[in-house]
Every structure is written in C-alpha cells, then in structure tokens.
C-alpha cells in the first residue's frame, strides 16, 4: 500500500521519495500556508480594528462575531489543503443548523466547541504557523540563492553550504510540512463527542467486543487447562499402568510406545495452544517480555525492538499482543522470509508499531489476513498501513492512541 502521509513517504522510502510527488506536495502545502496565513492576518487585523472602533457605539459585536465565524472558513480551507500531505480525509465536525436561516446558522456555530477550537487554530496560524512556513521556505531556497549569487573567491565555503542546504530542501520542507499537518489534524479533527451518537455507539460496541473476546479467551484457556489437559495426564498414567502388564518387545509394547508418543505430542500441542490463548508471561511481565518470549520460539529469526515507558493499558496490551502474533504467523506461513523485525515506540500519546519482513512481498491489503489485523486496529480507534511491493520487503505500520493512567 502506498504511503498516506508525507512523513510516511519520507520514512519508508528515503531515496525514492526524492523522485515522488511528495516533496512538491509539501512545497505547495507550505506555500499555500503562507498565503492563507497572510490573508488571515489582514482579515483579523481589519476585523479587530473595526470591532474595537464600533464597540464604542455598541456595533462592535458584529465584526467580532464575524471574526469567529471567519475562522470556520479558514478551517475548511485547511482541511482541504491537508490532503496535499495527508491523504486521510479529515471530516467536517460541524452539525447542520437546528432551523433554516442565517440567524440559526450563526447561533449553531457559536454554540459548537469546534468553532472556538477553529478560532484558536486560526489565531495560532496567523500569529506563528505561516511565519514558520515562510522561514522554512526562506532557509531552504532563499538562503541558497543568496549564497550562490554572491559567489567569489573568498566566499566559496558559503556557496558549498548553500548547495548542501538546497539539496536537502526536500527533506527540510517535508519534515516541517508533516509536523504542521499533524498539528492541524490535532486542532481540526472531530472529537468523539462531535462524531454523533451512532458512531459513538459503534465504537462502544467495538470496545465491548474486545472485552468479550478477552473474557472468552480466558474461559477457553481455563476449560482446556482444567478439562482436556487433566484428561490427557490421566490417560498418560493409565498407559503407564498398562505398560507394567505388558512384556517388552511384544506387539502390545510397540503399540503402547506409539500411543505414548502420540499422547506426548498432543499434550505438547495443547500446552502451546493454552499458552497462546492466555500467555502467563503477558499477564505477569507485559507486552515486551511476551513478544520476546514468542520471538524466541519463532521458526525464523526475529529482532524485537520494543521500548515503552511503562506497561500498556490492559486492553491495548492484549490486543497488540495478538495482532503481532497473527502478523508473525502470516509471515511464517506465506512470506518466505528468512528474517523479521518488530519495532515499537510510544510517542505523543500514540503507540507506533512496525512489523517488517524480508519475504517475497505482494501482500493483498484486502485479503482476509490483513483485514483481520485492520479490524483489531480499528477497534482501538487506530490506523494501519501496509507496504508490500512485489519482491519485498513487507512493512506493516500501526498507530493506536495510548494514554497511560
């Protein structure tokens, strides 16, 4: 799957990224930010001045309300501009007015929290963001132009510096474009209470399903441990008593040996199944220890690089364990890989996970295996992308919200 953000494109393919459209999209995003920000400064300055002047005659409230409502226009433009560097569509959280007419529309917008959040974003954009856009563009292109134009025998080191800055400008521009887009999404993305009752119920239902699956998994593990495992132990004791009555080297002795070997295999497989359903190491020591234990028993070498400030919340920890487990099982069955890597970090209230293998690639994102993983991530209100060109490597990238208590 192709990257959906400029940051992902730069991180996944740092060299081929230069030949893609992402640097140009990032440049257009920042250039547009300068224009939108400058226009917002002019509108805010005029509106604020008019409001202060007219406030003396009790008419200033209208321009001030107009400024608040103008921020919704800026936010709408920013949501559309965001698609340049983030292909995931940002939904408009505004609800329809309670009644037709301009007055009802204004009243509805002024009552919405998102309107005031958009006002804060517009003020931040006008006061700082567009200046930073201009600064990054000036450093990336203006500084090299000045140093190269002023070249002479004494200033050639500055020329070399300017050339280096110019050559690195795609990464400089894209880095800031990604940071700006992340901030924009934080301000302008709809909050849960703005999503509507139906969507909130869907998310609540997904959460209940995770809880019920977890409880059912624990119940099955307990039943297998207390039922089937104990019966196999009892059967082994019975076979041991039978051996006391059978002479060595006879046909019955050989049949008992085969039965004991099959029983040992069944017992070992059942223990592995029970351990996989509810691994004690996960409950006792957390996700990192559980994945390291699982990787130690995996049929191909797996590099585990998970760094977390503390244990994840229980539901997230359990879900991520089984997601990694399922992804690694798919690698062993279908990829033909000879090595794999699990890399995870906690950053800015996100748990970011990458699972990579050096197999043949060509994974179908719509296949049942990938869809099952995506369902787990969606249930946690997260995002998942798969990059798997034919010939490999395959990268599974997961981001899920994570807040420690």
Which pLDDT score is estimated for 208?
58
Nearby residues of 246 by Cβ (< 8 Å), 6 or more positions away:
252, 253, 256
- With a pLDDT cut of 70, the percent of the chain lying above it is 78
SS (H, E, C) the chain: CCCCEHHHHHHHCCCHHHHCCHHHHHHHHHHHHHHHHHHHHHHHHHHHHHHHHHHCCCCCHHHHHHHHHHHHHHHHHHHHHHHHCECCCCCCCCCCCCCCCHHHHHHHHHHCHHHHHHHHHHHHHHHHHHHHHHHHHHHHHHHHHHHHHCCCCCCHHHHHHHHHHHHCHHHHHHHHHHHHHHHHHHHHCCCHHHCCHHHHHHHHHHHHHHHHHHHHHHHHHHHHHHHHHHHHHHHHHHHHHHHHCCCCCCHHHHHHHHHHHHHHHHHHHHHHHHHHHCCHHHHHHCHHHHHHHHHHCCCCCEEEEEECCCCCCHHHHHHHHHHHHHHHHHHHHHHCCCCEEEEEEEECCEEEEEEEECCCCCCCCCCHHHHHHHHHHHHCCCEEEEECCCCCCEEEEEEEECCCC
Spatial distance between the Cα atoms of 130 and 35, rounded to a whole number of angstroms: 8
CATH topology of domain 281-401: Heat Shock Protein 90 (3.30.565)
Instruction: For residue range 249-261, list pLDDT tens digits in order.
Output: 677 767 777 777 7
Please state, in angstroms and rounded to a whole number, the distance separating the CA atoms of residues 390 and 369.
17
Q: Along the 405 residues of the chain, how does pLDDT read in single tens digits?
A: 567 788 888 877 777 788 888 899 999 999 999 998 888 888 777 777 776 766 665 555 666 777 788 888 888 899 999 999 988 887 777 777 877 877 887 888 888 888 888 888 888 888 888 899 999 999 999 888 888 887 776 777 888 888 898 999 999 999 999 999 988 888 888 765 555 554 555 555 555 555 555 655 555 555 555 566 666 666 667 766 676 666 776 777 677 777 777 767 765 655 655 555 556 777 778 888 888 888 888 888 989 998 888 888 887 888 888 888 888 888 888 888 888 999 998 887 888 899 999 888 888 777 767 877 887 787 777 888 888 888 878 888 988 888 765
Instruction: Tokens 């990257």: give the residue.
Output: 3
* Segments making up each domain of the chain, as ranges: 6-195, 206-278, 281-401
Spatial neighbors of 332 by CB under 8 A, at least 6 apart, are 298, 299, 300
């Amino acid at each position: 799957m192709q990257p959906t953000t400029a940051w992902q494109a730069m991180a996944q393919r740092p060299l081929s990224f230069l030949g893609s459209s992402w640097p140009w999209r990032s440049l257009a995003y920042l250039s547009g930010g300068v224009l939108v920000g400058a226009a917002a400064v002019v509108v805010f300055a005029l509106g604020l001045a008019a409001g202060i002047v007219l406030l003396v005659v009790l008419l200033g409230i209208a321009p001030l309300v107009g400024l608040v409502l103008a921020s919704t226009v800026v936010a709408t433009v920013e949501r559309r501009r965001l698609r340049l560097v983030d292909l995931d569509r940002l939904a408009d959280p505004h609800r329809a007015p309670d009644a037709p007419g301009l007055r009802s529309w204004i009243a509805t917008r002024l009552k919405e929290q998102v309107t005031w959040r958009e006002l804060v974003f517009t003020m931040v954009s006008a006061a700082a963001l567009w200046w930073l856009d201009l600064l990054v563009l000036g450093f990336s292109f203006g500084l090299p132009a000045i140093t190269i134009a002023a070249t002479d025998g004494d200033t050639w080191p500055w020329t070399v510096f300017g050339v280096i800055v110019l050559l690195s400008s795609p990464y400089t521009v894209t880095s800031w474009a990604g940071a700006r887009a992340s901030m924009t999404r934080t301000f302008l993305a709809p909050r849960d209470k703005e999503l509507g009752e139906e969507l909130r119920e869907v998310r609540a239902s997904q959460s209940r399903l995770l809880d019920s699956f977890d409880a059912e998994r624990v119940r099955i593990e307990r039943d297998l441990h207390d039922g089937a495992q104990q019966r196999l132990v009892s059967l082994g004791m019975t076979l041991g008593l039978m051996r006391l009555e059978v002479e060595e080297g006879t046909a019955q002795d050989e049949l008992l040996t085969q039965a004991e070997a099959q029983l040992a295999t069944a017992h070992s497989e059942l223990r592995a199944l029970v351990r996989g359903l509810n691994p004690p190491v996960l409950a006792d020591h957390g996700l990192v220890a559980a994945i390291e234990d699982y990787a130690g028993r995996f049929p191909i070498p797996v590099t585990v690089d998970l760094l977390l400030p503390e244990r994840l919340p229980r539901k997230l920890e359990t879900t991520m364990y089984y997601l990694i487990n399922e992804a690694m099982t798919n690698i062993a069955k279908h990829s033909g890989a000879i090595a794999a890597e699990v890399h995870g970090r906690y950053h800015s209230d996100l748990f970011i996970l990458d699972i990579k293998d050096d197999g043949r690639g060509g994974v179908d994102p719509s296949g049942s295996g990938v869809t099952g993983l995506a369902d787990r991530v969606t249930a946690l209100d997260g995002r998942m992308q798969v990059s798997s060109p034919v010939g490999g490597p395959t990268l599974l990238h997961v981001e899920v919200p994570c807040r420690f208590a």
